[in-house]
């Protein structure tokens, strides 16, 4: 409404609208209803994450979501998922996404 009035009174003023990339939020929307489903995409995200810092918002959300699903998977199944690099997950947990509870779960599974 304010934008229409502003453009009508002075057409030379350009009003910038924020661009929201809805795909960032919608990519994993179908997965939220299945919290225990740690799938191949999550395993690839965790195995291939090499940067100590988060690269961008989308990467941060992907890693955090994969970590949540990993934690739920371990709680539900009481085992480590096949094909997932334990050392890389521990490195992510200690350097990037600290979660003491998940670290303790991993240590109990190792013993």
Q: Provide the pLDDT confidence category of residue 84 given band limits of 50, 70 and 90.
A: very high
Query: What whole-number distance in Å separates Cα of residue 110 and Cα of residue 25?
Result: 34
Confidence tier at 18 by pLDDT (50, 70, 90): very low
Q: H or E stretch including 95? A: helix 86-95
Q: What pLDDT is attached to residue 12?
A: 57
Cα–Cα distances in Å, from 8 out to 1, 3, 13, 31, 101?
11, 8, 10, 45, 57
- The residue with greater pLDDT, 56 or 47, is 47
- Per-residue pLDDT for 109 more than 60? yes
Q: How far apart are the first and last CA of the chain?
A: 63
Enumerate the domain spans of the chain. 18-110
What average pLDDT does the chain have?
72
How many Å apart are CA 38 and CA 69, to the nearest integer? 6
33 has a pLDDT exceeding 60? no
- Is the pLDDT at 45 greater than 50? The verdict is yes
Residues 6+ apart with CB under 8 A from 96: 49, 52, 53, 54, 63
Write the CB contacts of 17 (distance below 8 Å, at least 6 apart in sequence).
Answer: 3
This prediction has a pTM of 0.61
pLDDT of 70 over the 70 cut: yes
């Amino acid at each position: 409404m304010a934008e229409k009035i502003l453009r009508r009174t002075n057409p030379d003023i350009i009003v910038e609208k924020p661009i929201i990339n809805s795909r960032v939020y919608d990519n994993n929307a179908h997965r939220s209803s299945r919290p225990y489903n740690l799938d191949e995409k999550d395993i690839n995200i965790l195995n291939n994450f090499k940067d100590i810092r988060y690269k961008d918002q989308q990467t941060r959300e992907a890693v955090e979501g994969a970590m949540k699903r990993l934690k739920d998977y371990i709680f539900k199944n009481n085992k480590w998922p096949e094909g997932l690099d334990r050392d890389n997950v521990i490195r992510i947990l200690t350097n990037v996404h600290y979660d003491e509870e998940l670290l303790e779960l991993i240590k109990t599974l190792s013993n």
